[in-house]
Amino acid sequence: MSQPTTMRRVAAISASAITALALVVPGAQADPPEPNLRSEAPRDLKIGSAVWGQRDLLGYDPKNPTEFQRILATEFNSLTPENDMKWAEIHPEPDVYDFSGADAVMAFAKANGQEVRGHTLLWHSQNPQWVTTASAGWTCDEARDVLEDHISTVVGRYAGEIYEWDVANEIFQDDWDAGGVRLRTGANPFLKACAEDPVALLSDAFKWAHEADPEAVLFLNDYNAEGINNKTDAYYALAQELLADGAPLHGFGAQGHLSLQYGFDESIQENFERFADLGLKVSVTEADVRMPLGEDGEPDAEQIALQAERYDKMLEACLNVASCTSYTVWGFDDARSWVPGVFPEGYATIMTEEYEKKPAYFALLESLTDATPGKSPRTPPGLNG
Ligand code: 9MR
């Protein structure tokens, strides 16, 4: 039975109206969004990027984002302030706190449904001049007072809004430093002032952070800490000591700053597992994979492939350990990478300066897509298990 003429006419008008609408409303008939790192992340794994709020997020307008901001919002469900929460930025004078950069990161995250990893509260680097100067004369009690005020103020300001905090960053020396792997009681002004019992200071740093934000998962964090080595052995012993002391230590972060000049330590998963067995969460907190470049400033095909493999191996270790909560890249584009400023190397991130996705990006995407909750069961981040 054919339709009455009026119904056919209505149908014809509706169809042409939809066509007209599609012509005037951009994206009305757009393809569905492509899968991205964030959309493919298994249920509760955070996929993050570092971002420098003071440099890249001030004046953010959600209706009119820069290309960088659009990608940051699309690809990641977690942000780490690359510099904005470090002492020199957030506490530039004894009685002055400057939250502008950190607030910009928090606001961007909120606007885009992202979570934030706090970084960092106790470190030997990027301390303001006043700390460097004053610390020369500190007693341990004076150092403790300064640190407690800082931790309470900064953690307290963002209480309930930061899911993980790197409380203590790079507190062990490296094998090749004078004295070998030992706590940085020389370079870290707080550990130095309390060198008689640095573990007691560390334990209290975690307690102060926990008091200021009981929900935050509190981490130790370091580089050269992916595999089982002298440094991670020292962290493993320290973690046990802190836990025995009742410190609210909840996590161990391997930064994941790799270079193709060196081999890859395949024991990363085993290392994560031993910290997980202590009841700790684990994370890859600052992943990037740099390399020496040719005279033309470009990597070769083999390097590009190897970079993808290394990024992916760190992710696989995380996916395979149930307690791994987050995998963060230390910036996603080469234009903003810290690497060329420090090393005669580059090409370290997952996208080029023009935001072209590298094989490393696609390797991560594929592993996330393949990861099922059944393969890597996870529990939401919580305190000690
Ligand atoms: O990426 C950060 C860079 O912009 C800073 O200039 C530098 C200062 O030391 O710190 C960089 O981030 C470091 C992070 O905070 C801790 N782990 C090593 C990172 C790379 O140096």
Residue spans of the domains in the chain: they are: 33-383
CA of 228 from ligand 1 middle (Å) equals 23
Q: Are 301 and 372 in contact (CB under 8 A)?
A: no
- What is the average pLDDT score of the chain? 91
**What tokens were used for 105?**
């990161």
Per-residue pLDDT, averaged over 348-376, amounts to: 88
Distance between CA atoms of residues 19 and 29, nearest Å: 9
Bridge-based pairing of strands 78-81 and 115-122 is parallel
Which numeric CATH code is attached to 33-383? 3.20.20.80
DSSP class of residue 339 equals G
CA of 214 from ligand 1 middle (Å) equals 27
pTM, rounded to two decimals: 0.90
Question: Is any atom of ligand 1 closer than 6 Å to the C-beta of 222?
Answer: no
Active site annotation includes 226: no
Catalytic residue among 170, 226, 316, 345: 170
Report in angstroms the alpha-carbon separations of 198 from 63, 72, 131, 222, 276. 49, 38, 18, 17, 24
pLDDT tens sequence across 320-333 = 999 999 999 999 99
Quote the pLDDT of residue 4: 44
Is the pLDDT at 237 greater than 90? The verdict is yes
| DSSP codes joined into one string, 167-191 | EEES-B--TTSTT-S-B-TTT-HHH
Q: Are 162 and 119 in contact (CB under 8 A)?
A: no
Question: Is any atom of ligand 1 closer than 6 Å to the C-beta of 185?
Answer: no
- Burial (Cβ within 10 Å: 0-12, 13-18, ≥19) of residue 221: buried
**What tokens were used for 308?**
């993808």
What H or E segment, with its residue span, contains residue 49?
A: strand 46-51
pLDDT tens sequence across 157-216 = 999 999 999 999 999 999 999 999 999 999 999 999 999 999 999 999 999 999 999 999
Catalytic residue among 75, 82, 226, 286: 286
Question: Is any atom of ligand 1 closer than 6 Å to the C-beta of 338?
Answer: yes
